[in-house]
């Protein structure tokens, strides 16, 4: 362990990231008209980084939209470890960025610390998981989702399309956040096929469980051998392995967070959409319009924060009667006639 005091260790990490940022703001989006905007937004990616085909990429889409439509200047960083996450946020804050966004629940604790250290900077954490009984700093917006509502819809798709009566769920890290997806998926399957069996497997108990496609493939092979013919993954880059196994074994898969059809055409029949892009864009827009507020906010079906791919060629693998049934369930949730449990 280093003998340097904590501040010096953090400063060293920030210096390293600052040097890296000369080569890797993975993007510096230009605002409309080529003029430099007054508002600057820095985004720090979660485990898996850009190119995960999932949650990070969805957040990146929202940031690019904000640059394009709102005229903000954006930069991103991809940390390699826990210490770099905090260092990256401190780097953006120390450079005077107006808003710093962290993508993923893993940022929660560090972001609260950094937000308190930089009270004049606004922060936003996607999937923020607050400490029980602790109030958020006033300059921190926790952006959460009712994942169970979107997972409910793809669970219904799985229950209506399975030929074996057995479907699978593969989670990344075994944590409450992913459990909400699992609960919604189970509820959706049960709603349309009470006799169906849902088999569940998790890739691990650390953040690395979201970037282990080899483990994802092994779990998918195991569930398929047990009779599951539709697999829903909530595992970040680990899901690449799930898709490979589904393709190789001739079964169907369901993507997560964004439309993942193109990762395995003919195998991915739909995806549960978790609109990190919407959350990112809306919090940036609130800032530019002077409406930014700290505290927790939630995005579900009503707010357009979750859903599933049900239109266009990427939904062609879902029979029309299945889409109609699932869309009717979605309408009931939106009207408040059907509540989906997160447990």
SS3 sequence of the chain: CCCCCHHHHHHHHHHHHHHHHCCCCCCEECCHHHCCCCCEEEEECCCCCCCCCCHHHHHHHHHHHHHHHHCCEEEEECCCCHHHHHHHHHHHHHCCCCEEEEECHHHHHHHHHHHHHCCCCEEEEECCCCCCCCCCCCCEEEEEECHHHHHHHHHHHHHHHCCCCEEEEEEEECCHHHHHHHHHHHHHHHHHCCCCEEEEEEEECCHHHHCCHHHHHHHHHHHHHCCCCEEEEECHHHHHHHHHHHHHHCCEEEEEECCCHHHCCCCEEEEEEECHHHHHHHHHHHHHCCCCCCEEEEECCCCCCEEECCCCHHHCCCCHHHHHHHHHHHHHHHCCCCCCCCC
Q: Is there a domain that residue 339 lies in?
A: no
- Per-residue pLDDT at 29 exceeds 70: no
Specify whether 108 is located in the same domain as 175: no
Res 7: pLDDT: 26
Q: Is there a domain that residue 305 lies in?
A: no
Percent of the chain having pLDDT more than 90? 78
Specify whether 96 is located in the same domain as 119: yes
Q: Is there a domain that residue 27 lies in?
A: yes
Specify whether 11 is located in the same domain as 22: yes
Res 16: pLDDT: 52
Specify whether 211 is located in the same domain as 325: yes
For the stretch 73-101, pLDDT in tens is: 999 999 876 668 999 999 999 999 999 99
Res 133: pLDDT: 79
Q: Is there a domain that residue 314 lies in?
A: yes
For the stretch 229-239, pLDDT in tens is: 999 999 989 99
Specify whether 319 is located in the same domain as 171: yes
Res 82: pLDDT: 64
For the stretch 125-151, pLDDT in tens is: 999 998 887 889 999 999 999 999 999
Q: Is there a domain that residue 342 lies in?
A: no
Q: Is there a domain that residue 341 lies in?
A: no
Specify whether 86 is located in the same domain as 157: no
Res 37: pLDDT: 46
Specify whether 54 is located in the same domain as 134: yes
Specify whether 160 is located in the same domain as 100: no
Specify whether 185 is located in the same domain as 222: yes
Q: Tell me the CATH number at 63.
A: 3.40.50.2300
Res 134: pLDDT: 81
Mean pLDDT across 213-219: 98
Specify whether 47 is located in the same domain as 26: yes
Mean pLDDT across 207-217: 95
Q: Is there a domain that residue 95 lies in?
A: yes
Res 265: pLDDT: 96
Domain that includes residue 292, residue range: 6-145+276-299
Specify whether 16 is located in the same domain as 96: yes
For the stretch 36-52, pLDDT in tens is: 447 999 999 987 778 77
pTM of the model: 0.82
Q: Is there a domain that residue 137 lies in?
A: yes
Mean pLDDT across 231-251: 97
Specify whether 82 is located in the same domain as 220: no
Q: How many domains does the chain have?
A: 2
């Amino acid at each position: 362990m280093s003998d340097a005091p904590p501040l010096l260790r953090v400063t060293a990490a920030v210096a390293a990231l600052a040097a890296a940022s000369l080569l890797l703001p993975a993007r510096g989006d230009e605002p409309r008209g080529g003029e430099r905007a007054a508002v600057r937004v820095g985004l720090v990616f979660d485990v898996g980084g850009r190119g995960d085909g999932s949650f990070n990429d969805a957040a990146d889409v929202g940031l690019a939209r904000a640059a394009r439509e709102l005229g903000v200047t954006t930069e991103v960083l991809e940390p390699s470890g826990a210490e770099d996450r905090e260092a990256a946020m401190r780097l953006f804050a120390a450079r005077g960025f107006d808003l710093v966004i962290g993508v993923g629940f893993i940022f929660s604790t560090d972001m609260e610390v950094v937000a308190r250290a930089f009270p004049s900077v606004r922060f936003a954490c996607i999937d923020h998981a607050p400490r029980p009984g602790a109030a958020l700093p006033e300059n921190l917006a926790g952006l959460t989702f009712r994942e169970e509502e979107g997972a409910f819809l793809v669970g219904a798709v799985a229950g209506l399309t399975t030929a074996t009566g057995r479907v699978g769920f593969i989670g990344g890290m075994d944590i409450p956040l992913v459990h909400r997806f699992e609960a919604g998926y189970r509820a959706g399957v049960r709603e349309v096929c009470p006799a169906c069996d849902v088999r569940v497997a998790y890739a691990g108990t650390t953040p690395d469980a979201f970037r282990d496609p080899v483990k994802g493939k092994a779990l998918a092979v195991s569930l398929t051998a047990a009779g599951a013919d539709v697999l829903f993954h909530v595992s970040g880059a680990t899901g690449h392995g799930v898709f490979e196994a589904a393709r190789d074994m001739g079964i169907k898969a369901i993507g997560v967070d964004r439309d993942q059809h193109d990762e395995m055409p003919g195998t991915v029949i739909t995806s549960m959409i978790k609109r990190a892009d919407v959350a990112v864009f809306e919090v940036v827009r609130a800032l530019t319009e002077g409406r930014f507020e700290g505290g927790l906010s939630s995005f579900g079906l009503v707010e357009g924060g979750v859903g599933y791919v049900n239109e266009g060629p990427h939904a062609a693998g879902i029979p029309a009667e299945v889409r109609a049934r699932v869309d009717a369930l979605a309408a009931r949730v939106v009207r408040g006639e059907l509540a989906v449990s997160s447990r």
